[in-house]
Structure formats: structure tokens, C-alpha cells
Amino acid sequence: MKHLVLLVLLAAMPLFGGTHVAAKIVADHTVVAKGEPFSLAIHLKMRDHWHTYWESPGFAGLPTEWILEPVEGLQVEDLQFPVPKRFVDDAGYVTYGYDDEALLIAQARYTGSETEISIKGLVKWLECKESCIPGEAKAELNLGVGQAKPTETKLFEQFRARLPRPAPKDFQYAVSWQFAEEKWNARVTFGEAESASIKTKPEAITFFPTFTEEAQHDGIKARHEGGRLVVDLEFGAFAAEPEAPTLGGVFDFGADHPPLRLQLYPEPSAELGVAPASSAKVGPPAETPALDYSFWTILLFAFLGGAILNLMPCVLPVLSLKVFAVVKEAGENHWHRIKLGWVYTAGIMVCFLVFSLFFIVAKSAGNEIGVGFQFQNPVFVIGMTALIFVLGLSFLGVYEISAPDANALYGLSNRQGAGGAFFQGALMTLLSTPCTAPLLGTAYAWALTQNALVILLVFQVIAFGLAFPYLLLCYIPGLVKLLPKPGPWMHHFKVVLGFLMMATVVWLFSVLVDLTGRDGVIGTMTMLVGLSFSAWVFGQSWFTESRRGGLLVAVLSAAASIFVGMFMLFDISNPKAARERFIEDLRLDLQGQLQASQTNTGELGDQYFKTIERRFSTPDTIAWIPYSEKGLAHLRQTNSIVFVDFTAAWCLTCKANEKLVIDRSAVRQVLADEGIYSVKVDYTNKDDHITQMLQQFNRAGVPLYVVYPGQGDPIVLPETLTQKMLLDAFSDARVQLTQQTNNAF
């Protein structure tokens, strides 16, 4: 997979432009003794931020090589590569190589009769920064033959110490594997004597696989168990099991122990009684870069983002509710309004406090979560659907908790003003978290990289910003006087709010169908039918003599509907099982179709790549490609523009942007005319890999829009998207792509 078509073609072409790597052939002797071994090497020096590749480059790249002209009597062995560095690009793909300086060493011996030899050759490499350029240089080295004269001693000693060596024959270690379709796990246990000789701290041990065409090394976790060193390795695999007859790699133990080249598969030993490898996930060692903002700037972003959140579509139902409450309270005492304003603010801040504590606990436990995580939980979405639906029924007049009153809001805010205000604040928070307002994504992302106290503070500032517009309204009587006077119109407005609540229920169902599939929707709708009947019985009987009987019927009806909907038609104890079954059936069906279309000579992966390469948008339809790591990487390697939409079913801002900005005729026309690939990353369900991808772009949640100009620098767009921003990004990507092509030639 690493020998991609583009790189192969480029590597075969001469390089006409300048190079960022200086390469020459050197030796550890100026005069070599006849028949005695000496070392030849390729000496590479890279400019800042450029790198070349190791013997096993990783996801992409080509190793450095030389082509030497034959010299009679000169035998040169294979190049040996010192321990490399690990590079991770913006998409999370791992490669191995060298920046700054490297020395690739080969053992040589001269047995000829000449007194001087001339070694000529061509050194070829691939140099990469944001983009990759093939490089080559002609090199020549003249050596005398006679009494040996060493040179470049320090340089060769420095890099010889970093050359991996095979383990001694008596070196004791054992390996156990667990293979799955997308994940491989290996546990390497070293013998007691071997563990004692390794003085390196476990957290400083690194590993470099030599089977990078089969899997990507994602994580390492080393520890001491008794007197033995145990190392767990996790790989993202490209197949369900190895195809190569052997798998191996290099363990780097730092300066106190030479790096070792070990065979890992087939398992070299079973004598140590090793337990099977753990299937637990081990995070990649690379750290997410911190956002370059000051603490006070982030607090300003948090406050303004919270205030702007009032304008997001997620909070429209509750915002309308608050407008209704302000109108109703217009004639109230000024200090009473202020009191209710602070109670409403407290409701928001308490909810944000709970959220921030959840993030702190999850972060300390090593879990990856993003903003809006509760909407990834089917139980939460079902509960919110039921709550909003029942509140909507009260607005539509199906029932009233308080005594009938033409100017009444609904029970919680009419009968218990403070309680109603607190409840509205909490409801505002619960419905607002799926939305990410401008500046808010930056504040969330920065906060989640900080300590617990800072997370608490930033979340509270966001909460205060969200409550601030209403609180300001409570403090300034002049603004309240601008609102219409209470009157009969409020009854009609209350009905309108009821329909807004029902529209929110529809949105929640659109989230639920992606979380639970058909069974969850049917079970929830059945429960809502029962709850609506209970609400009607309650409303009809509450103010009559049969109040107790009606309450009993309402409770029994609600309980029966919950039981039938949530435990018979849908299993709420395992809410994602039905959707997983549906996906599995769909996957098997698609796999069968792909295998049916597979040629005798092609591979299934190649067929998949050919399929997505042909998915171009038309002026009428955007041809979305479901996200996969390998698919995105392959599309970027085709030297094309790739538009990536990070979205989720519960993100109303995402859906609004898709309908009002992305899926428009002007955008579709550009996508079609320029052959831009469109990739959709679905964050509806919890996915640690996507969470890490978001963090790499300094975002804590969706929406996120990224335009890739081939393998160039990604162009990141803001959460609140306009058509002009998107089209300008495509234009900038086209310019970058042209520059990359010109540089390559």
C-alpha cells in the first residue's frame, strides 16, 4: 500500500528543481587495507522540517537507496538503517524516517590489486514536508589501498550505536498475538535476565515495525511484572490476519542498551508462559498540539461563544419559551424578575458544572469524549424525546398541571416561578450542547487540554455567556417595556410553542434512528403514544371528582407504554444492538457485492479504491464517500482535492450547514466540474479515533470542515459556514495543488 502509484511515478522521474537534502557517499577510512572490512555509508543532511525515510517507511514513502557502479574486487553488503524517528501527519498516518542528519551504513571489503579505487554511484531518496519530492544525487569517493587509515570516527561511532542488531541466540523472549479484522495486539515478554539487562524506563521504550505494509503501529505500553519486562503493542491492521510469513520489528531501548531486531510472528517461544495479548486500546504516543491562545483570550471566547449560542437552532424552542416567560413577567416586580433571571442562570451553570465534572472524570480515566457526547447515548436521546414531547402536549392544551389560566405558561414555570426558571435553564443547556457556536469550539478544545480547575472555570464562563442576554433583559427595565403587553394573544403563542416542541421531537427522532435503527424508533414512538394517552387522561380528570382514578389510569398507561416500547419492541438495556445487526447485515451484503464484482486478478482492497475513485458529484447530487482511514489516504494520494465533512445526526448546526450551504447548486457544480471528492465523517456514535482527529484540528466537537489539497496542508473552515468560505477554500486548494505539481517537476 505504501508504494502508491503517484510516488512510484514521481520517483522514476528526474528532479529538475532544487533539493532540500544533501547526500554523499563517505567511508570510515581514507585508506583501506586489502582484504580487511571497512564501512561505506550514505550521509544525508536534511533542511529544517524535511525528512527522508527508513528501511520500512510506514504508511507511505520510499527508503533511501544507492546504485553503485561495479568495482572489481569490491564487495558491498546491504545498507543498514539506524533507528528512525516516528512522524504522524494531520490525518493520523504514521511514517518512519530521519530529519536533520542520518548515516546509512554498509560493510565493505576490497580484495583487488589496485592501489586506489574510485567508488561512483547514484543516491536516490524521497524528501517530504507537507508534500513529497523525489531526489537523487551523483556521488563519488576515492579511497587509497594500503595501510589502513581511519577517518570520520565520531560520525560512524554515533550512528553505529543506533544500528539495530539481531538478538543473541540465547536471548529469551516470548510473543503472543491476537488478530482481528482491524486491530492486532501483540504482547512481548522478556526473560528475567534480559529484563534485568534493560535499564531503560518502560515509558522510554519505543518500537518500529518492519511490516508496515500489513499494519500501522498505533500504540505501545511497557511495564515490569515481577522480574520481567512486558510490552504490549497495538496495530491498526489492513487485513484480518498476516499474509507475510514472518513479522518483525526493532525495539529501541535508548542509550543504555543497543536496539534489537526481533521476530514477532510466528511466535518465537512459548517457554515463558505468556498470557494472551490484551485487547485493550492503547492510545498513540503523539501528543495533540496546544492552542496558541492566552488564558484571558480563551475566557473571552468562552463568554462570547456562550452568548452567541442563543442564536443557534438547537436552542430555538427554549429561547421561544424564555421570550414567553419574559412577556408574562413584564408586569412583575423588577427585583422578582432579577431573582428569576439568576435562578435561570443557576440552572444553566449547574448543568455545565455537571458536564465539566464528567469531562474531568473521563479525561482522568484516559477516555476520549467530545462535546455533545450525551447525544451519542440512545437512552439520553429517548429520555429527551419523551420530555420534550410531554412538554409540547401541555402547550397544545392536552393537559395543565396548574389551574386553568389563559395567561398560564405550563406548570413548572407558572406555579413555581423559581423552579420553572431553573428547569428552563437546565433544558436550555441540554438542548444547546450539540451546537458549536463561533469561538466556542476553540474554547472547548483549549479547555479539554488543561487541568481540572481550568476546565471548570471555562465551562462556567460559557454557561454565564449563555445566560447573559436574558439576565441583561431582567436588569434593564427599558428593554422589558419594549415587549408586547400580556393578553389573549399569548394563548395562541403558547400553541405555536407546542408545535416548536414537536419539531424538536422530529429532530431528536432523526438522531435516534442513526443511534438505534428501526427498532429504537418504533419502540420510542409506541411509548410516546402511551404517554400522550396518559397526559390526556390526566388533563381530563385532574380538576374533576375522579381525580384519583384518572391519576391511577394515567400512571398505569404510562408504565405500560414504557414497558412495551422500551422492553418488548426495543431492548433499551442494549440500545445499539439492533443498529449493529442492521449494519452487519448491510456490511455482509456489500461485501458480497464487492466480491461478486472482483476480478480474478484484482484484490478486494483495490476494487474498493477503484469504486471510491469513481464517486464524483454531479450538479444535482453530492456523491458522499463514507469515511475510512485507508480510503481518505488513498484519495489524497491521487493528487485531488478532498472535502471532508465531520458531522453527526444530533448536530443541528451540521444539518443546517449541509442544507443551507453545502448541498447547494453552486457548490455541487464546483464539486462536479473539478472532480472534488466529498468524504463524510459520521460522529453520531462514540468513536475514539474520530475524537482524536478532531483534537488534531484543535476542536472538541462537530461541525468541522476540512479541505485537503492532495497531500498538502489541510484548510480548516469555521463552524459557521458560508458558501463563499467553502468556494474560496476550494479555490485555495486548487492553487496549492498546482504549486505541488510544479514543485514535483
442-500: per-residue pLDDT in tens? 676 677 667 888 888 988 998 888 888 878 877 776 666 666 565 666 677 778 777 87
Q: Cα angle at 26 between 24 and 32, to 5 degrees?
A: 155
What's the mean per-residue pLDDT of the chain? Answer: 79
Query: What is the predicted pLDDT for the residue at 412?
Result: 42
Task: Tell me the CATH number of domain 606-744, given options 1.20.1250.20, 3.90.850.10, 3.40.30.10, 3.40.190.10.
Answer: 3.40.30.10
What is the chain's Cα-based Rg?
A: 33
Every domain range in the chain assigned CATH 3.40.30.10: 606-744
Query: What is the predicted pLDDT for the residue at 489?
Result: 63
**C-beta separation of 521 from 345 below 8 A:** no
Mean pLDDT to the nearest integer, 520-530: 90
Query: What is the predicted pLDDT for the residue at 121?
Result: 93
Q: Report residue 723 CA to chain centroid gap.
A: 25
Question: 186 by DSSP, 3-state: which?
Answer: strand
Q: Which residue has the higher pLDDT, 228 or 272?
A: 228
pLDDT at position 409 over 50: no
Residue type, 376: Q
What CATH number labels 5-163?
A: 2.60.40.1250
Give the separation between CA 681 and CA 646, rounded to whole angstroms: 5
For 470, the grid coordinates are: 436574558
Q: What stretch of H or E contains 55? A: strand 51-58
Q: What is the pLDDT of residues 625-644, one digit of tens each?
A: 888 888 888 899 888 999 99
| Pairing, β 677-682 against β 624-626 | parallel
For 701, the grid coordinates are: 466537537
Q: Which residue has the higher pLDDT, 435 or 120?
A: 120
Give the separation between CA 116 and CA 144, rounded to whole angstroms: 4
pLDDT at position 188 over 90: yes
pLDDT at position 525 over 70: yes
Residue type, 742: N
For 40, the grid coordinates are: 561505506
Percent of the chain, pLDDT > 90?
28
Every domain range in the chain assigned CATH 2.60.40.1250: 5-163
Question: 724 by DSSP, 3-state: which?
Answer: helix
pLDDT at position 66 over 80: yes
pLDDT at position 670 over 90: yes
Question: 734 by DSSP, 3-state: which?
Answer: helix
pLDDT at position 110 over 90: yes
CATH class, domain 166-265, is: mainly beta
Q: Report residue 143 CA to chain centroid gap.
A: 54
Q: What stretch of H or E contains 428? A: helix 417-432
Percent of the chain, pLDDT > 70?
75
Contacts of 619 (CB under 8 A, 6+ apart): 665, 668, 669, 672
Q: Which residue has the higher pLDDT, 710 or 700?
A: 710
Q: Which residue has the higher pLDDT, 574 or 177?
A: 177
Give the separation between CA 482 and CA 489, rounded to whole angstroms: 16
Name the pLDDT band for 391 (thresholds 50, 70, 90).
confident
Please state at what angle helix 604-613 crosses helix 577-597, rounded to 10 degrees.
100
Query: What is the predicted pLDDT for the residue at 595?
Result: 44
